[in-house]
Each structure stands twice: as structure tokens, then as C-alpha cells.
Amino acid sequence: MSILITGGAGYIGSNTTRLLADSGERIIVLDNLQLGHRAAIVSPEVELVVGDIGDPVVVEDIFSRGQIDAVLHFAAWALVGESVEQPLKYYTNNISAPLVLLDAMRRHGTRHFIFSSTAATYGNPVRVPMDETHPQEPINPYGRSKLTLERILADCGPAWGLQHVILRYFNAAGSSEDALIGEDHSPETHLIPRTLMAVAGTAPPLTVFGTDYPTPDGTCVRDYVHVMDLAVAHAKALAYLRAGGESTACNLGTGNGVSVQQVIDLAETVTGKKVPREYGPRRPGDPPSLVADPSRARSVLQWTAARPDPRTIIESAWRWISGPRGGRY
């Protein structure tokens, strides 16, 4: 039995791939390497298939070679701003392409699907912290594309027996403990690596968007979760489905909010250097606070973030950015 991991050469997918491979799972990664990195697959026993999840020939070849026990689906476009400018790119890749994958699963009898979703499916918060019953009203095509696939999965359950776990991430950050796998996006838009890149001199000064939010220090508050904790959550979701668990959705976060200013302060403490920065107006669509209620993941998957301290997360990210690879593959 094999596990198919789509987008397994990407940031979160590669950390999950390594964790499962190290536990003895037979892994096939399907990645077109447009966003992923061949060097992020550090386990030699993992098979990499370079191709697209929307290519029926490639997908059929994988499923016809042997029994796929489960699919972990990470492959997606994930830039909010870009999704606003190019919505069809996001609807094609994040909705249409996975239908090819799901159809192959249906025909070959694969019933377990773990979906890398996002807190962006909730849209602007009506309450904080946000649990899974929070209204889902995404405010951009990226969030809408993820929510649409969530609803497709719900329809596939009664139709042909698909069992799924939807994992809604809040803000992933950090690197593997040995700093071999880290966050390498182009462009880099995430706050923690962007802050540390400004310190390292590999990116322009950080822009702080808005200092007048109704938060303790006036800057946005977010819930940061270590990428290795996300990898563990996928392993637990797989064990849950294999044990006969029913389809569910779980938030993945720490339940603790950290402001932009706090990230800057911690980055200066960790690096011993000032963060070059400038200040700008609020960005449209940025809510003041997004914090997870992760209690369902704790009760259903027996998962809790083991590295909730934001300093630990920033130290991990700094090891990657300041390490031998300089934050790049």
C-alpha cells in the first residue's frame, strides 16, 4: 500500500512527506515543481513523479501501478493577492485539477483523502477565536477555491464512500529541526520569513501594514503554527481515517494570537539585529485578528501543537534563513 502526496515537494507537503517516510510509509509524491523543490524531498526512498494533478495520464499511471491507500492533497496556488488578479488560474488549479485526482480515486477504490485547506475559507471573523462552526464566507478567490473543494469532498462521501479530513491551517511558519526543509517562496509574502529576510539583507525592509487596528499594539494579530506540528497533524489524520474515523474538518493553530509588532520584537531578540522596516496603511481585507480554536483537532485527532511558543517558531525559521542554504534550495 502506498500514500500519494500531491504537492509533496512544497513547504508543508515536504515536511509531511519526510515525517511519514521516516515512519515507514511508502510514499509517492506528485508535484509539478512550479512551486515545490526537488531538494525538499530529503528521504531517498520517496518516489517523485514530476507532473500535474490535472493530467489524467499521469494520475492514472500512478493509480494503475499499485494500490494507493490514501491521498494527502497539498498541491494548490496559495497567494491571496494573485487570486484576486487571476481568479481563473486559482479556480482551474484548485478546483478543476483535483477533480481528475478524485475521479481516479473513485475508479481505483481509494477512500481516504486528507485536504490541505485554510482559515481563509472563513473570511472576516465574526468571533475570535474561530472554531469550525464559524460561518464560511471567504472574501477572495483563493479562499473560495478551497471552500468549493471542501464542499465537493462532502458530496463525494455519500456518492461513493470517500472519507476525508479537512485541515484548515492558520499561519504556518518555521522549518524542520535540522533546517534541511524550510520556507522558500518566490515572492515571499509570509510575515515571519519576510521579517527575517529583511534582517538577513536578502529582502527589502519589511512593510508593516497598519498600526491603528483595535489590538493591544495596533498591529494585526495572527495565530502562528509550526510546520512540523502541521506535519504531525496530517499523520494523525491519516491514522484517524485508517481506524475508521468519519469525515471531519479541523482547525490547525495554537489558539494564541501574536501581533506583527510582537513578531518584529521576537525576531530582533532571536537574531540580535534590528528589523529594517517601514510603515504603511492597512491593506484592504486584513482583519484585525485571526486566531484558531483548535479544540476539535485535540478531541478528534488527539493533536495539539507541540511548539506553540512563537519564539521557538521564529528561532526555527531563522536557522533555515541563516543556515548553510541561506533560506533557498
Name which of 48, 163, 143, 124 is nearest 288 in CA terms.
Answer: 124
Q: Is the pTM of this model over 0.85?
A: yes
Which band of pLDDT confidence, cut at 50, 70 and 90, is reported for residue 283? confident
What is the distance between the alpha carbons of residues 299 and 318, in angstroms, rounded to a whole number? 32
Least confident of 28-37, 78-87, 240-249, 262-271: 78-87
pLDDT-derived band at 204 (thresholds 50, 70, 90) equals very high
Looking at residue 292, the DSSP 8-state letter turns out to be: B
- The predicted model gives 280-288 an average pLDDT of 89
pLDDT of residue 251 exceeding 90, the answer is yes
User: If DSSP codes are grouped into helix, strand and coil, which group holds residue 247?
Assistant: coil
Q: Which one is catalytic: 11, 90, 122, 142? A: 142
Q: Say if residues 26 and 69 touch (Cβ distance below 8 Å).
A: no
What is the rounded average pLDDT for all residues in the chain?
Answer: 96
Q: How far apart are CA 65 and CA 120, in angstroms?
A: 36
Query: What's the pLDDT at 275?
Result: 98
Band the pLDDT of 325: cuts 50, 70, 90: confident
Residue 285 pLDDT greater than 90, yes or no: no
Query: For the residues 6-31, what does the mean pLDDT come to?
Result: 98
pLDDT band, residue 228 (cuts 50/70/90): very high
Which DSSP state fits 130? B
Place of cell 493530467: 55
Q: Residue 142 catalytic?
A: yes
Q: Encode pLDDT of 287-305 as tens digits.
A: 899 999 999 999 999 999 9
- Residue 66 confidence (pLDDT): 86
**pLDDT tens track for 131-171:** 999 999 999 999 999 999 999 999 999 999 999 999 999 99
pLDDT (average), residues 280-290: 90
Determine the pLDDT at residue 222: 97
Kindly state the cell numbers that stand for 83.
487570486
Hey, how many other C-beta atoms are within 10 angstroms of the C-beta on 324?
7
Cell numbers representing residue 138 in the block: 471567504
Amino acid at 172: A
